[in-house]
Amino acid sequence: MGKKAYLILEDGSVFEGESFGYEGENLGEVVFNTSLSGYQEVLTDPSYCGQIVTMTYPMIGNYGVNPEDIESSKVQVAGFAVKEYAKRHSNFRSSSSLGDYLKEYRIPAIEGIDTRKLTLHIRDKGALKGGIFFSTEGAAERLKAHPSMNGLDLASKVSTGYVYNFGDHSKDKPLIAVMDFGVKTNILRLLDSHGFSVRVYPGSMSFAEVLKDGVKGVFLSNGPGDPGAVQCAPALVADIVKSQIPCFGICLGHQLLGIGLGAKTYKLKFGHRGGNQPVKNLLTDKVEITSQNHGFAVDMDSFKKVKDLEMTHLNLNDNTVEGFRHKKLPIFCVQYHPEAAPGPHDSEYLFRQFREMVK
């Protein structure tokens, strides 16, 4: 039996359970993810930096972890909360248990809590600050002192500090720049497999420097935190516009393009996190089942006022902006995750689209 642990929220709610990860406290924004599988990808997704993730699916750890299904080089979440941790795992690829994996990366995790109650609480109150503690004492003060997600620039924390090449580079694969705000590895894998020579740059790097490498396209990555707090973004977008080179953005990248091109972003009550969100492609009228992970969104009203932009994708659940393109420039982006991992592969065509755009 694990050590007694508590998930405590800033509004004073306490969920008592048992630890199955690293036995150290940690704080973050508490969010829920509704994917039925894919916990390892979620844990290693840099966009979850600063967040304690609870899975709505109650049995987690069933298939262990493996060396392949990772979205970055480490576990990124601040903490993990589940209904029941499967102590023994079974899968032909698994190399370790989830509990050991979390311990290795010093991430606290709690099991045995009523995750549905927690989810309904977040749905009603919105995403809240919270922490995994091993004693209830002093938790309130520590939560109070913890910064809220609004106005938090976490992207710079998870971005690469140096330029590096990913995958196979060759002459017939045009070079593109990935501006890294917390990029998921599967985006890099897909760019590579779609025929790009991929070079990853720190998100804050001057675009003039990037252009010197002769890149033929630019990709703005996903990432954590408040898009409005990413200081370097407006200038970067302005430079991209000026350069007129093809640009594709995903998630935070989509939000940064929105802001840079004149729209606003806002924080959703509790965000979209899961693998079942219906999005309509307004150009084809087809519905895609998408993987999503975002707490902020491009504001519809402000977006509509920007005359050079055209909405291409709409969320059918809550009618939020899921994607847009520039009417004159080769710029397009989506809020959701066409790279999936975890989630359905319905939207991989966007990578093909980008490849066709880059000469």
The residues that touch other proteins, with contacts defined as CB under 8 A, are 32, 34-38, 40-41, 56-59, 62-63, 66, 68-69, 83-84, 86-93, 114-117, 119-120, 123, 274-278, 280, 285-287, 289, 316-317, 340-345
Whole-angstrom distance, CA of residue 182 vs CA of residue 156: 8
Whether residue 36 contacts residue 95, with contact meaning beta carbons closer than 8 Å, is answered with no
For residue 242, the minimal CB distance to other proteins (Å) is: 38
Of residues 58 and 147, the one with the C-beta less far from other proteins: 58
State the residue for tokens 């740059």.
Answer: 201
For residue 337, indicate whether it is catalytic.
yes
For residue 239, the minimal CB distance to other proteins (Å) is: 36
Q: 243-282 burial by CB neighbour count: b if 16+ within 10 A, else e?
A: bebbbbbbbbbbbbbbbbbebbbbbeebbbbbbebebbbe
Of residues 276 and 353, the one with the C-beta less far from other proteins: 276
Of residues 74 and 87, the one with the C-beta less far from other proteins: 87
Q: How many CA atoms lie within 13 A of 56 on its CB side?
A: 18
Instruction: Pick the catalytic residue from 41, 251, 272, 322.
Output: 251
For residue 274, the minimal CB distance to other proteins (Å) is: 6
Six-digit token string for 213:
């490498």
Rg of the Cα trace of the chain? 20
Of residues 32 and 201, the one with the C-beta less far from other proteins: 32
For residue 84, the minimal CB distance to other proteins (Å) is: 5
DSSP state for residue 148 in the 8-state scheme: P
For residue 170, the minimal CB distance to other proteins (Å) is: 26
For residue 58, the minimal CB distance to other proteins (Å) is: 5
DSSP string, 167-200: S---TTS-EEEEEESS--HHHHHHHHHTT-EEEE
Q: For 175, phi and psi rounded to 5 degrees? A: -80, 130
Whole-angstrom distance, CA of residue 190 vs CA of residue 209: 25
Of residues 17 and 225, the one with the C-beta less far from other proteins: 17
State the residue for tokens 């049995």.
Answer: 59
Of residues 205 and 297, the one with the C-beta less far from other proteins: 297
Six-digit token string for 330:
């080769």
Active site residues: 251, 337, 339
